[in-house]
Structure 1
Amino acid sequence: MSQPGEPAAPLSEEEQTRLIKHLGRAMLPALPQGWQRVRAEYRAAGRHVEVDLAFAGPDGQWRPVRPPMDVVRLFGRLRAGMHRSDRGTWLSAVYGIEAPAAFSVDFNADEEPRWRNAPPVIGFQDELRAFPRQDERIPDWLRQRVGLPPLPEPAPGGGLRAAHVYDGLDGANRPVVNRQVVDRRLAEALLTYLEGAPVVLTAQGLGVDEFVPGEQDVPLDFRTDGTWIWAGAVPHYLRKHGLPPEPDLVEHIVSRGFRLGEVDEATRERAAALITGDA
């Protein structure tokens, strides 16, 4: 089954919940009286879409039924609305219902679905065009499908990159800065991101302001978004002196749409080890 991808505005969590409930109700017209369990599975890559719907009665035997078009449409709307620029969207979902009203939904964004009929290469290419994701979020199997080269081997520190607070020191050991000033709106968005990332290492007290040595107000902490690591001085100097982060970090944050993702414990530990020199 194929259907054109339709651009859609991102759904809030409340909208997702409402749509998921609507989706469950849309299955009911296809079910006979006496059903006890329902299982719907949706698989998609670009315009290639597969939907299976089955129910079990008192005997526990699963029986397939034809999914209503509303079910297909609502799954597609949910998938499009859950797309995020950093991680793409999910490729398959399993929706289960237990009579009378209990339900659960599992989304898979990384593993290759168990296709009924494998999509052609153009289906996977369409997937990345319609629902782009950051390069490091494209799983190996999908990279192979579309002909992308494999990701490079992680560098020491698990591929994490540490941000420079400034650009160097002059002969008098004073910080040197050669960066383009950012406007106020961009600065506020950067600050929200930089100050909202998880802390991976911190120390008591405050450090000396290297631009105003007589002042001691610099946070002694480090944060990471899973790709970059930065010292508390980075947002502090942006807020206090208007000093923007290094350009590559700014570009990275903008490319993520200023949205922070989850950072797992292993990545936090690698970040801490890199900061302390134990990586």
Structure 2
Amino acid sequence: MHLGRQLHALIPDGFDVITYTTSKTLSFYRETLVATSEDGRRESLLVDDEVTVLSSELRDVMYRQGPGTWFGAVVTVTSRGKLDAQYNYDDEPYWDFPVDPKTYVTDLETYPRDDAHMPEWLQQKVRDHEAGKTE
């Protein structure tokens, strides 16, 4: 995973783990990067552009007809090279403020889902957009 290698390269000296957390749609994203030392010390880091691009590419290649692609991910890499990744396909992504329902409709145009994989919150966003509601 290219993203994992890039994250590994960003682990600062004296730290053992780096954790990248993102909520993402085609047009909108939120991301954090935190390094943790063996003794529990934590440091927030700036997310570099390469990480942002690689996570978008990962979202793209993980798309599957039917279930779509993920809206959130937590990727953890250790200094020894162990990678763990968890993806959120079903729960509404976390944002710092309300996101216009059009954001999700636009995302679904590129990453369509079948009805069986449309969580209620996402169906509601589509209905809100069709009704002209904005957040």
TM-score by length of 1: 0.43
Assess, with a 3 A threshold, how the Cα gap between structure 1 residues 117 and 26 changes in structure 2: closer, same or farther: farther
CA distance in 2, matches of 1:88, 1:37: 30
Which protein is bigger by CA-based radius of gyration? Answer: 1
8 Å Cα contact 2:68/2:113 also seen in 1: yes
SS at match of 1:32: coil
Displacement over 6 Å in runs of 4+:
none
> How far did 1:28 drift?
4.0
> How far did 1:59 drift?
3.0
CA distance in 2, matches of 1:42, 1:112: 12
Assess, with a 3 A threshold, how the Cα gap between structure 1 residues 98 and 31 changes in structure 2: closer, same or farther: closer
Pairing partner for 1:128 from 93, 96, 108: 108
For residue 41 of structure 1, what is the aligned residue in structure 2? 21
CA distance in 1, matches of 2:8, 2:77: 10
Unaligned runs of 5+ in 1: 1-19, 149-279
> How far did 1:25 drift?
1.9
| Number of equivalences | 128
> How far did 1:101 drift?
1.3
TM-score by length of 2: 0.85
Residue 60 (structure 2) pairs with residue 76 (structure 1) = no
> How far did 1:66 drift?
0.6
CA distance in 1, matches of 2:55, 2:83: 15
Letter matched to residue 19 of structure 2? R
For residue 12 of structure 2, what is the aligned residue in structure 1? 32
For residue 53 of structure 1, what is the aligned residue in structure 2? 33
Pairing partner for 1:98 from 78, 89, 93: 78
8 Å Cα contact 2:8/2:78 also seen in 1: no
Aligned pairs (5 A) from 1:204-223 = none
> How far did 1:111 drift?
1.0
Structure possessing the higher relative contact order (Cα contacts under 8 Å, 6 or more residues apart): 2
> How far did 1:61 drift?
2.5
8 Å Cα contact 2:66/2:113 also seen in 1: yes
8 Å Cα contact 2:22/2:29 also seen in 1: yes
CA distance in 1, matches of 2:57, 2:64: 14
CA distance in 2, matches of 1:50, 1:141: 19
CA distance in 1, matches of 2:117, 2:77: 31
Letter matched to residue 40 of structure 2? G
Unaligned runs of 5+ in 2: 129-135
8 Å Cα contact 1:30/1:67 also seen in 2: no
CA RMSD of aligned residues (A): 1.6
Letter matched to residue 112 of structure 2? P
For residue 116 of structure 1, what is the aligned residue in structure 2? 96
Identity %: 27
CA distance in 1, matches of 2:30, 2:17: 20
